[in-house]
Amino acid sequence: MASRRFADEPAFVLHRYDWSESSLVLEVFTRHHGRIALVAKGVKRPTSQFRPVLLPLQPLLLSWGGDAEVRTLKAAQWQGGHVMPTGEALLSGSYLNELLMRLLARDDAHERLFDHYAMAVQLLAERGDTQELLLRAFELLLLKEIGLLPDLSRDGSSMIAVDPAGSYVLVPESGLRVAQEGEGRPLTGEQCLGLYHAMEGDTPFLATLRACASCMAALRIPLRGLLHYHCGVRVFKTRQLMIDVQSMMRLSGPAVAGGDLTPVPRTSSTS
């Protein structure tokens, strides 16, 4: 029986591993097949045409074949549309990739999540000044699409509808609960409902961006706790790297800002 082949699938590279002296295994996020592993043979050779194409945070069209857990990459083409994010936006994009690597199972398609991710990456490249807002919106939509975000329209214990005038905290184990007096920075019921309706709308990413803007300070800590809980980590590697780089830049000034990482994409194929 001939092995299955797939052509021109929209995808992004999330991570790369050494496979041999000349090859890599790629973890890629595809629109119709979810997260899959591909071996890119000969990609580390200086003459490989794959080298300038298989970069993270770039919209690609990939073709592959095989039925094993690790399939074989046959062709890769840059879709165009935007350049790679640079500077702190590049680190933010790497954080999104780490979240997907930790939370997505292999071969589990999430087409809406793929579209959210593609928009987040594009906006990171175009509007780096809003990256914290973009991260909060994507975190919410990621958790929602994979079924890990509690219902933001109801109290998690009583299942009573959220009171717009009330104050709530988001707890990983039980969802929303009424905030106690003096308890951190709670979300208002109006903010919870705004987020809930934004994620259920026709343009969820942009609507969620707008909803997040009104509650950034209150969202940061509970969302981080929810992600750490489900990922089983105390700190994300890319988060720590972002903190370290920001600290270094504050100490050393603009000279640390780094060079241009914009790729020069090409089309490549192999039999």
Give 1-54 pLDDT, tens digit per residue.
456 889 999 999 999 999 999 999 999 999 999 999 999 999 999 888 888 899
Strand (E) or helix (H) holding 129: none
What the block records as the tokens of 2 is 């001939």
Q: Is the pLDDT of residue 259 over 80?
A: no
> How high is the mean pLDDT of the chain?
88
| Euclidean distance between the first and the last CA atom of the chain, given in angstroms as a whole number | 19
**β-strand partners of 187:** 168
At 129 the pLDDT is 66
Q: What pLDDT was estimated at residue 98?
A: 95
Q: What is the pLDDT of residue 84?
A: 86
Q: How do the domains of the chain map onto residue ranges?
A: 5-81, 87-255
Q: pLDDT at position 2, please?
A: 52
Q: Which CATH class is domain 87-255?
A: mainly alpha
Q: What percent of the chain shows pLDDT beyond 70?
A: 90
**What is the band of 253 on the pLDDT scale with cuts at 50, 70, 90?**
low
Query: Are 5-81 and 87-255 in the same CATH fold?
Result: no
Determine the average pLDDT of the residues in 124-141: 90
How many angstroms separate the CA atoms of 266 and 244, rounded? Answer: 33
Enumerate helices (H) and strands (E) in the chain, giving the number of each: 7, 9
Give the phi and the psi of residue 184 in degrees, each rounded to 5.
50, -140
Q: Report which of 124, 27, 44 is spatially closest to residue 84, judged by C-alpha positions.
A: 124
Q: What was the pLDDT predicted at 78?
A: 92
CA distance 125 to 37: 26
Query: What is the three-class DSSP state of 241?
Result: helix
Q: What would the CATH number be for the domain defined by 5-81?
A: 2.40.50.140
What pLDDT sits at residue 182?
81
pTM over 0.75: yes
The confidence band for 185, taking pLDDT boundaries of 50, 70 and 90, is confident
Q: Is pLDDT of 271 > 50?
A: no
136 pLDDT exceeds 80? Answer: yes
